[in-house]
Amino acid sequence: MSKPINVILAVFIVHFCLSVDAFAQVTLTRKATLMGSKFEFALVEKDSTLANKRLDEVINEVQRIENLISEWQPHTQISEVNRYAGVQPVKVDREVFDLTVRALYFSRITDGAFDISIAALDKIWRFDDSMERLPTQEAIQKSVEKVGFQDIILDSNACTIFLAREGMKIGFGSIGKGYAADRCRSILIKSGVTSGLINASGDIATWGNQLGGDPWLIGLRNPFNQHKMIRLLKLRESAVATSGSYEKYVEFEGKRYAHIINPKTGYPSTGLVSVTIYGPSAEFANGLSTSIMVMGLKAGIKLLHKYPAYKGIFVTDRGKVVRR
């Protein structure tokens, strides 16, 4: 259920200094590779020394989160949960437990269109131009044998996670970066930073204004024409996430198969090329965008209507843009 790093979001940041109450403010930006992806930070602060200190703090926070939930690093709690699949429950930090609870909430409201246990999916689809034919139905059915959120068993009192079947795995590639962006924003606001933007590889959290009072500007590029924008979002305390399939897909007999896989069927999602969701939380926006890519336009809009704090922009594989 992952999405490409360079989805269709373009961030426009105005860099200049402004005298406010006799104190010079600056916008300081920094880029870093975290959680295996590109992160970008922009803070408005009184001076660059203080801004750099705050940036160090939130980069350390993202690294801390990665050291808890990464499925690729063997020392993390999630890797331990995966190692003991079918064997025994694993005690985790309450933070990890609660993130898993929220992930399972998405599984329930989408009837399994969202599923963190898709980490165990057999990689029978290839989106690197090497596929010459569709996988067989038998191979597709077998690929999802270890996938199933119903077999993720949580014990709140013991704070444990148990994967009931051997070979199961869970991973937070779908909402982990959104969670990190939300956490960074929360920490910076509590530290007194009045304005900033966190771009966690396309999961974006903002607050306050740019210098001069302008909102943060997030451009949505047309997936069929990267030189054109379909919408320019003006965000203050908000978040946005996009899931897209326009860069990674295969075509057979005129039908496009996206790299985003339906966890229930093993088949790639069809019908939508991109889904952008914006609202209060980057984590929640990402969960919705990932789910709706699998669910499709009609079911996705129906789901979105249940969460009026969030809005969506959908692009179909025929180029139609739908806003809700």
* Bind-site residues for Mg(2+): 174, 290
- With beta carbons less than 8 A apart as the criterion, state whether 314 and 324 touch: yes
Which residue shows structure tokens 């789910």? 291
Instruction: Determine the Cα–Cα distance for residues 74 and 235; give it in Å rounded to an integer.
Output: 38
Instruction: Determine the Cα–Cα distance for residues 213 and 210; give it in Å rounded to an integer.
Output: 6
Residue type, 206: T
Instruction: Determine the Cα–Cα distance for residues 82 and 89; give it in Å rounded to an integer.
Output: 10
Instruction: Determine the Cα–Cα distance for residues 93 and 161; give it in Å rounded to an integer.
Output: 10
Rg (CA), the chain: 20
Instruction: Determine the Cα–Cα distance for residues 256 and 260; give it in Å rounded to an integer.
Output: 12
* Greatest Cα-to-Cα distance within the chain, rounded to the nearest angstrom: 70
Binding residues, by number, are: 174, 290
